[in-house]
Amino acid sequence: MSDNQRDDLEDPLTRWLNGQSQANPQLPTERRRGLRFAFYGRMSTVEHQDRVTSRHWQRDCATELVAAHGVIVAEYFDVGCSRRRGWRQRPQAAALLAALDDPDRGFDAIVVGEYERAFSANQLQHLAPVLEQHGVQLWLPETDGPVDYHDPAHQALILMLGAQSKREVQRARFRVVTAMRAQAREQGRYLGGRPPYGYRLTDAGPHPNAAQARWGRRLQRLEPDPVTAVHVRWMFAQRMDGQSLASMARALNDAGIPCPSGIDPDRNPHRSGDRWTLRTVAAILANPRYTGRQVWNRQPAHNHTDASRSEREPIRRNPTVDWVVSTQRAHTALVSEQDFVAVQAIRSQRGAHDGTTRRYLFTGLLRCGPCGRRLESHWINQRPGYRCRHGHTSTRQPTNPRRKILYLREDHIIARLADHPRLPSGIQTPHDLVTLLHGRKITIVCDQEHCTPTTERSAQVNLRGS
């Protein structure tokens, strides 16, 4: 495209501005060459930040810093990543680190627009040896140029910036958490998240903050869902009558009642949504929000440092002492508080017919070698034991053919693990053994003949050794 054709495509104001720029002898017509920089930036939340604005001011700061020393030739910008995530856990930062190994990477140094956008706590201290190994400089506005990791002044500055960045996160988190506790306890306010099965969201009036209200934000509250609330009431009534979780899940499946993830598949893409499970029924019966109280902080807020947690692992709950419960009812109850407490007692008492409580030491610690599933607790000949039915579930009718069920007695498992070469010596009692397994997150993979400790919980392997 010729210059005349390009001018024809430009609007009159752009042509005038370009003409003024070319006529000004003080402005350089050619960028000064030097170091080649890779720009790195980051923004945390997509909901509360504008990507264009955040990227622009960070890039402008970086460009101004390196203007007299080189030019930015590459860009890596992470969106929706907390600063607490390490660089290898951020997609763009990980790609930048991977580019360091390429001798033809095309850049000589890295520049960021602000320390807090790139690092938190001691992250830079861990990254520095990697950059030095590849001969790549790091430029920060706070150091007004490249960081000298061996300069005492720069070392002190990095420590201070790391502590300040961490303090900023902690201070903001403390203020937010404290405010949310007060809102949940004193106001019974709905604080977000998907509504529990049996409820739906409805409008609760304008936001109490005047500025938020002017922007059109409104509060929400829970109200019974006319389609699903009846099933929640049915489950509590059935449990009060002594029905088991398996029988309730099986009845719901046989009746063709959609499970929670089946009703809302768009918000549950990681779940099949095809049937009720014991865990789903148990979770509903254990949720105190069905009493009409607002409850917050039941589930820990998993940060991105816990990215290795599998989606298939059960949701962990905070201790009840950490729950925040509203002082008054905040929405219509689906079960009375007395019945809810009575159901929890039924759920927690799993006694035998003679009134004794059966205890299983290795619950959650055993995995089936042939199929990889966890073994379930099972009383065998008046002894604690464990079994795997290889995919059979009591929430559905059995299907044929299937593998032979694996049965293991608890005392046989203890005997197999005694003096096992993969376990430390000196274990005195079975309780000490179980404490060790839990503390080191060790799983025992079992078949008919062997029990082998492993830290690979998801491995489906055939066992070897004693």
Residue 398 has pLDDT above 90, yes or no: no
Provide the CA 379 distance to its chain's centre, in angstroms. 36
The domains of the chain, with CATH numbers, are 31-167 (3.40.50.1390), 199-348 (3.90.1750.20), 366-454 (no CATH)
Distance, CA of 349 to CA of 452 (rounded, Å): 32
Q: Which of 206, 207, 200 is nearest to 221 (CA)?
A: 200
Q: Which residue has the higher pLDDT, 233 or 419?
A: 233
In this predicted model, which residue has the larger pLDDT, 42 or 441?
42
| Residue pair 51/90 in contact by the 8 Å Cβ criterion | no
Task: Collect all residues with Cβ–Cβ distance below 8 Å to 242 and sequence separation of at least 6.
Answer: 346
What pLDDT does 347 receive? 54
Rounded mean pLDDT of the chain? 84
Position 448 confidence tier, pLDDT thresholds 50, 70, 90 = confident
249-307, pLDDT tens digit by residue?
Answer: 999 999 999 999 888 777 777 677 778 988 899 999 999 999 999 999 988 875 444 44
CA separation for the pair 49, 455 (Å, rounded): 40
State how far the Cα of 189 lies from the Cα of 409, in Å rounded to an integer.
Answer: 50
* pLDDT score at 5: 57
- In this prediction, residue 3 has a pLDDT band, given cuts at 50, 70 and 90, of low
Q: Parallel, antiparallel, or unpaired for β 35-43 and 109-112?
A: parallel
Mean pLDDT, rounded, for 380-404: 73
DSSP 58-95: HHHHHHHHHTTTEEEEEEEEEES--TTS-GGGSHHHHH
Q: Please check the confidence at residue 356 and state whether its pLDDT lies above 70.
A: no
In this model, does residue 175 exceed pLDDT 80?
A: yes
The pLDDT of 357-378, averaged and rounded, is 86
- Give the Cα separation of 378 and 365 in Å (integer): 14
Lowest pLDDT segment from 22-36, 95-109, 146-160: 22-36
pLDDT bracket for residue 48 (50, 70, 90): confident
pLDDT in the model for residue 458 = 42
Question: Of 125-134, 187-196, 399-408, which has the strongest mean pLDDT?
Answer: 125-134
Quick: pLDDT tens for 305-349: 444 444 445 567 888 888 999 999 999 999 999 999 999 887 554
- Give the length of the chain: 466
Instruction: Yes or no: say if 444 and 367 are a contact pair by the CB < 8 Å rule.
Output: yes
pTM of the model as a whole: 0.59
pLDDT given for residue 396 in this prediction: 64
pLDDT of residue 400: 57
Flag the least confident range among 4-8, 63-67, 110-114, 120-124. 4-8
CA distance 19 to 39: 30
pLDDT, residue 338, reads 93
Distance between CA atoms of residues 412 and 458, nearest Å: 24
Q: Kind of pairing, strands 137-140 and 293-296?
A: unpaired
